[in-house]
Amino acid sequence: MTHPQPAAKNAGAVQTLLLRLPDTLAAVLLFVITVLITAQVLVRYAFGGSLVWSEELTRLLFVWMVLVAAVTAPRMQVDFLVDLLPPRLRALQRILVEFVVMGLTIILIQGAWGMMDLRQFDIYIALGISVSWVYLSLFLAGFAWLLRSLATVVAQWRVLSDPT
């Protein structure tokens, strides 16, 4: 079961940094979420107080963390039949699948844009920022997913156009 990854095996330093950036950002967000939840528990049970803003911020950061991490997550594929195909036909099938994925991702991006516009004046009470920040994460993740799909199409196109 091989899953095509658009990342080059001999990536340069800048390319490697860019490929690791989403995972690093997700790890930092997880750390911040952990610190916020720990502080919230300590303040509530040790001091009897409350950090009103920490719950809203934790929820917002959690959404961002999941979507950032999803950029580099391996895709779920049931491809045991596809792996039986000859390499060029397999590449063609993967290109067609990526075009379907890209089309659905474009619909997702449009929906995120619409929700950002619709909710731009809704405010998180404790944070004082727009609820659109949640949908911005989906909007940006959608573009990252499009780039990933495009890289996969390019990689599979090379396999398809290889004369051997």
Burial class of 7 by CB neighbour count within 10 A (0 to 12, 13 to 18, 19+): middle
Domain ranges in the chain are 13-161
Predicted confidence (pLDDT) per residue in 52-66, tens digit: 899 999 999 999 999
pLDDT value at position 128? Answer: 92
Contact 15, 5 (CB under 8 A): no
Angstrom distance (rounded) from CA 96 to CA 101:
9
The string of pLDDT tens digits covering residues 125-155 is 999 999 999 999 999 999 999 999 999 999 9
Contact predicate 92/163, CB 8 Å = no
Q: Is the pTM of this model over 0.85?
A: no
